[in-house]
Structure 1
Amino acid sequence: MGFFRDLSKQAKRISDDREFLGFIKVIESLVSKVLSLAMIAVILVSVVDLIVYLWQDLFFQQPVGFFTTTVIKIFGFFLNILIALELLDNITAYLKNHAVQVELVIITSLVAVARKIIILDLEKVDGLELIGLAIAILALSISYLIVRFTNKSSHHDHH
């Protein structure tokens, strides 16, 4: 009987809106922390992977001392790590403010699209894909300007 009484007390506590919202905040915080740790692991493994890749490519491939892969491909690896760092920044900003930082998300998206353009093989891409990337950059850039302008004007209103 005591078990059911305790269970009903717990259910009553959770049914209280403030208690429930507090419970959701705890879950959000926990998930954000787990995502942060996972992203740190991804970044560290990516950096080690990049170092091993560069080391092998420079010293164990013919000709020694020159990149056998294109520098563009190597830039792609670097940009992947930068994108992962931006995502980690997004997660930690969320942990600090408990709100998604739209400006950071747009910047991360711009870096991701820029990475796509930097590593683009123009022989394998059709015009439609280029137009799509151009539209994505334009839309993200305009969004970034709007968010920046809005944030700047709201900061001036409060001071």
Structure 2
Amino acid sequence: MKNLLRQITAAGRDENFLNLVHILEGVISKVLSIAMLIVIIVSVVDLAILLSKELFSEPVGFFDTTLIELFGLFLNILIALELLENISAYLKKHIIQVELVIVTSLIAVARKLIILDLTKTSGIQLIGLAIAIFALSVSYWIVRRSNTRQSP
């Protein structure tokens, strides 16, 4: 009984607990990477099927789906690739790279802007989108500038 109590007490020490957290972070990051790869593969296959249907249906060479919707699908895949890059960078360096996160956010906002239907968008939504773009741009500029100063 005393042995079990000592083991429980030892497992509760800060360094042991932090080791457990570090191991779990690694496992979860790897599971997220695999899940993201599956999402990317399924998205690319879905896009390929949609493109082949659109290209080989009547009338030949014209899209029933608007190009804006197709661009949105391409950008979805690009965003997923950026998220995978964020996870991979975390696995390599065990830090979250703020610059990558901001770039991914900018791509997501750019996607939103590209596929935006202005007939269904209110003025306040446009103002919010403009503020988000401005804030992300300034954030990226600040992070990029501080990173270039730190580099030798």
Residue 21 (1) aligns with residue 18 (2):
yes
Aligned-partner SS, 2:116: coil
> For residues 133 and 105 of structure 1, what CA distance do their matches in structure 2 show?
18
Unaligned runs of 5+ in 1: none
Q: Residues 61-85 of structure 1, C-alpha deviation per residue, up to 9 Å, x if partnerless?
A: x322211111010000000000000
> For residues 9 and 64 of structure 1, what CA distance do their matches in structure 2 show?
75
Greater mean alpha carbon deviation, residues 10-19 or residues 136-145: 10-19
After TM superposition, the structure 1 = structure 2 runs for residues 93-132 of structure 1, keeping only pairs within 5 Å, are: 93-132=89-128
Fraction of identical pairs, as percent: 59
Q: Which residue of 1 aligns with 2:9?
A: 12
> RMSD of the alignment, in Å?
1.3
Q: Which residue of 2 aligns with 1:53?
A: 50
Aligned-partner SS, 2:96: coil
> For residues 92 and 131 of structure 2, what CA distance do their matches in structure 1 show?
33
Deviating beyond 6 angstroms after TM superposition, the runs of 4 or more aligned structure 1 residues are: none
TM-score (norm 2): 0.94
> For residues 6 and 58 of structure 1, what CA distance do their matches in structure 2 show?
71
Greater mean alpha carbon deviation, residues 122-131 or residues 139-148: 122-131
Report the CA distance between 1:104 and its aligned residue: 0.5
Aligned-partner SS, 1:128: helix
Unaligned runs of 5+ in 2: none
Report the CA distance between 1:9 and its aligned residue: 4.1
Report the CA distance between 1:43 and its aligned residue: 0.2
After TM superposition, the structure 1 = structure 2 runs for residues 61-80 of structure 1, keeping only pairs within 5 Å, are: 62-80=58-76
Q: Which residue of 1 aligns with 2:136?
A: 140
Aligned-partner SS, 1:111: helix
> For residues 36 and 59 of structure 1, what CA distance do their matches in structure 2 show?
34
Q: Which residue of 2 aligns with 1:31?
A: 28
Aligned-partner SS, 1:91: helix
Q: Which residue of 2 aligns with 1:155?
A: 151
How many pairs does the alignment contain?
152
